[in-house]
Structure 1
Amino acid sequence: MKAYKFTVFILLLFCFTLLTACNKNQGVYPNLQGEKILVYVAFHEDEAKPLLEGFKQKTGCEYSILRFPTGEALARVMEEKKDPKADVFLGGTVDAHESMKREGIIEKYISKNASSIPERYKDKDGYWTGLYIEALSIGINKERWEAEFKSKGIKQPESFEDLLNPAFKGEIIIPDPKTSGTGYTFVSYLVQSMGKEKALEYIGKLNRNVAQVTANGFTPAQKVGIGEYLIAVNFINQQLIVKKSGFNIQSKIPKDVGWTLCAVSKIKNGPDSKAANAFIDYCLTLEAGNALKNFSMAMSTREDVSIPEGGQKLKDILSNEKYDFKKAAIDKKDMLDALEKINP
């Protein structure tokens, strides 16, 4: 009889625990059937879809995506400030989110899931939260290097200074800082590490070797992957995505290189505040962190998400505290104006 009572007690306890878990799950994922969220996406569209599909499965909420390079997405929300069309700004470098914070375009939302993310990876006032870490890297097409450059005794570039070698004229592709968060991070890093005058002088010299400037940060890795160009400058995770797709791209992360965060924030007075909150909650879960890592090959801001293969060196660069996200946002207009003068 005692054994029977004990068994019944355990079953009741199990049922109670299960019911509590279900109730908690309902709290985490509200029923949003019949609602629809619009998300402006400032990274690769295929990164956004797993997040939005996972969110839809949990809540029933339908969604629409509009994908832009970071600079274009930022310009769009600025134009719509008085009549916001989107609910969430997903992706893009954190200087863009800082700019939106300063302009009153995004609003404070502190997700309960943000507690799993270290303070250095989120806004202290709660306006944005970092999803993953992005570090600048030099990408090299290994097949072309072996076939065309190695035999000439040319040193493989390991620093940004090495990219000024005349042998690389017409072989470098970089993202446009006016439209790309990746491109602007590169410029801002140069300014913060060299000083404005030396950075502009360096960019002027680099432009002599640059064959193409792209609207977004991902295209340079793609074009180097297929061998159209020899060298790309963009984020390491963008290069790792191309490498994972089967292309022979080699990455060189310079010492003390600049890095930033890919972030998410809630657009102020967006059409569906409830869905926006719930979607940000989902983006910051372990499930979403793993989904992003599996596609983006990036280092998650969540400490319980493993580092992707080939991304171990990211740990080393995180000691570089010189890059200031807020300064990058404050200096942006001035820097872009200065760039126009040397490269109209």
Structure 2
Amino acid sequence: MTDVSQKQTVVAYSAMEEYELAEYAQGIEAANPDLRIRIERMSTAALFDRLLAEGPDGKWDLILGWALTTMLAPELRGWFAPLTSERVRSLPESARDPESRWFCPSAFVPAFCVNETRLARRGLPVPTRWEELADARYRGELVVPDPTYSGAGFLHLTALLQMAGEAKTWEIMRGVSANRPLIERSAFAPCLAVAGDEASIGVTVSIAAERTARMGLPVKMVIPADAAGSEPEGFAMRAGSVRKDAASRALEWMLTPEACAIYRKYHKVVLVGSADAPPREQGLPIQPINAAQAAASRASACENWRRVFTPAAV
């Protein structure tokens, strides 16, 4: 057994949820007894701000799960080191950088977290589409994450824009805003509000909805049919890290069958060894979003969202 004082500490930044990260850290350390993974978890936007504040010579060694649309920001170009891994090179082209500077073994999926009991008390149906959330019957029943801060919020907005088009998306969003939703900055907060009977529907991602249900709370996960997309989760190693060997081994574990089993447990799309046919969730084909396109239009999309939702958030 390796003495704790002799273990090499690898610092990872992540936007994944803490309960999920604990399972990955345990798996990495079990497979690499000489390593200790220290994870700092923050929101998608906070992680971006943290990296910019620290610069390319920051304190981190790894990015252990982050929305690819943010990871592709031009400000971070050149910050990540190539990984010499056959497993990385075997991923679909859309799930890895051409020079293996980042890779995506998994993708997260938009979801609604629904309190069926509360809906029944109000005589409301369970919504299956974003378009339904614009119905005035749901006024005061919605919790929505701000896409400026939340990766979940930006994924929903991106999937809807890419699947329904600009005109339809903003028509829907104006209707949702008129229903005066509670605005949050994370994927988990809407689930807790719904589970606590503060609202009927929370906009989130599958992992947060699944986690809330696993906690024994009264919620149901619904994949919105008009935003059934997925966004790859990016992993990378800092180009200036002095612990590249240790960091590489940690990242390599994220492509193992053991890691993939955890992705599936949380209803994520597994991109390791994925086939050409899109995966299905609740009978819906889950189509990957165009991450590069979303990253390029992020600022304008979020600004439009703020203009639509600011009156409802006041």
CA distance in 2, matches of 1:80, 1:59: 29
CA distance in 2, matches of 1:315, 1:73: 34
CA distance in 2, matches of 1:336, 1:270: 33
Q: CA shift at 1:76, angstroms?
A: 1.1
Stretch of structure 1 that moved more, 171-180 or 233-242: 233-242
Q: Give structure 1 stretches of 5+ with no counterpart.
A: 1-31, 305-310
In the other structure, the counterpart of 2:297 is 331
Query: Aligned AA for 1:53?
Result: Q
CA distance in 2, matches of 1:299, 1:162: 25
CA distance in 2, matches of 1:105, 1:176: 27
Q: CA shift at 1:159, angstroms?
A: 1.1
Query: Aligned AA for 1:36?
Result: T
In the other structure, the counterpart of 2:35 is 61
1:238 paired residue among 196, 208, 225? 208
Contact persistence 2:130–2:172 (CA under 8 A): no
CA distance in 2, matches of 1:261, 1:315: 20
CA distance in 2, matches of 1:140, 1:329: 29
Q: CA shift at 1:182, angstroms?
A: 0.8
Stretch of structure 1 that moved more, 48-57 or 118-127: 118-127
When residues 48 and 156 of structure 1 are mapped into structure 2, their CA distance, relative to the original with a 3 A threshold, is: closer
CA distance in 1, matches of 2:79, 2:145: 25
Contact persistence 1:137–1:233 (CA under 8 A): yes
1:248 aligns with 2:221: no
CA distance in 2, matches of 1:201, 1:163: 12
1:259 paired residue among 230, 233, 255? 230
Q: CA shift at 1:133, angstroms?
A: 2.7
Q: Residues 39-95 of structure 1: CA distance to partner in whole angstroms, max 9, x if unpaired?
A: 111011111122222222324212322110111111211222242211111122221
In the other structure, the counterpart of 1:149 is 122
1:212 aligns with 2:182: yes
CA distance in 1, matches of 2:292, 2:76: 10
In the other structure, the counterpart of 1:91 is 65
SS at structure 2 position matched to 1:106: coil
SS at structure 1 position matched to 2:225: coil
1:200 aligns with 2:170: yes
2:49 paired residue among 75, 92, 113? 75
Aligned-pair Cα RMSD in Å: 2.6
CA distance in 2, matches of 1:237, 1:166: 28
Q: How many residues align?
A: 300
SS at structure 1 position matched to 2:140: coil
TM-score (structure 2 length as normaliser):
0.85
CA distance in 2, matches of 1:119, 1:251: 30
CA distance in 1, matches of 2:47, 2:171: 29
When residues 167 and 246 of structure 1 are mapped into structure 2, their CA distance, relative to the original with a 3 A threshold, is: same
In the other structure, the counterpart of 2:8 is 35
TM-score (structure 1 length as normaliser):
0.78
Structure that is richer in helix per residue: 1
Query: Aligned AA for 1:77?
Result: L
Give the share of equivalent positions with the same residue, in percent. 20
SS at structure 1 position matched to 2:58: coil
Q: CA shift at 1:329, angstroms?
A: 0.8
In the other structure, the counterpart of 1:45 is 18
SS at structure 1 position matched to 2:122: helix
Q: Give structure 2 stretches of 5+ with no counterpart.
A: none
1:285 paired residue among 256, 271, 276? 256
SS at structure 1 position matched to 2:248: helix
SS at structure 2 position matched to 1:109: coil
CA distance in 1, matches of 2:6, 2:90: 28
SS at structure 2 position matched to 1:71: helix
When residues 254 and 292 of structure 1 are mapped into structure 2, their CA distance, relative to the original with a 3 A threshold, is: closer
Q: CA shift at 1:231, angstroms?
A: 0.2
